Amino acid sequence: MGSIVLFGPPGAGKGTQAQRITEHTSLPQVSTGDMLRAAVKAGTAIGLEAKSYMDRGALVPDDVILGLIEERIAENDAKNGVMFDGFPRTIPQAEALSELTEITHVLAIDVPDERIVERICGRLTCGTCGTVYHDVFNPVPGDGCECGQYVEKRRADDTEATVLTRLGAYHEQTSPLASWYEERGLFHRVDGDRAIDDITTDLLYVLQ
């Protein structure tokens, strides 16, 4: 099997669905957003460079992202393919990726802009295992995260002002990738304005 791309605007549910789909495909989730946040937390040179872009909701330069990806997909667990979450986000990133691994499916989660702010501003992430929750739409279970170690965490870039900048970057720089992948016969669109379980069912159906 090759690799899969989960595509969609900020807050579409890419991370939520990636965590579910990896259980069925055994492809590891590779999230450039998570990798960048880890680099920021560790205070590496890449983290320091990326932080200024992330804090204002702008895309991090392609060369930084591609360096991270090349290193990640050289790891042993990626040899049968991976599930990309939040990558590629520009046409140069997609072109470079096509030289590194075979993409078999691009799964686009469609969500209207008016839903995005409420989704992102209500997001909670488990500080231990990374499971994503939502204040209203996907609450943390009464006895905490299923990993047993739930620590509530809100992302630094999950503010209304930053979300609007991230949406702008999506429409200007990332959405042109839809037709780029459509031309290559790889693009599958799923309605993401529904219950989380229904979206998972549709995504798994496409992968079958």
- For ligand AP5, the binding residues (CB under 6 A) are 8, 10-16, 32-33, 36, 53-54, 57-60, 65, 86-87, 89, 93, 119-120, 122-123, 132-134, 137-138, 157, 166, 192, 196, 199
Measured at the alpha carbon of residue 59, what is the angle toward residues 8 and 109, in degrees to the nearest 5?
5
Active site residue 123: yes
Q: How far is the CB of 138 from ligand AP5 (least distance, A)?
A: 4
Q: How far is the CB of 86 from ligand AP5 (least distance, A)?
A: 3
**Nearer residue to ligand AP5 within complex by CB, 12 or 46:** 12
Active site residue 56: no
Active site residue 89: yes
Determine which one of 37, 51, 119, 123 is catalytic: 123
Active site residue 194: no
**Nearer residue to ligand AP5 within complex by CB, 72 or 166:** 166
Q: How far is the CB of 104 from ligand AP5 (least distance, A)?
A: 19
Active site residue 115: no
Determine which one of 153, 154, 184, 194 is catalytic: 154
Just list the catalytic residues: 14, 89, 123, 154, 166
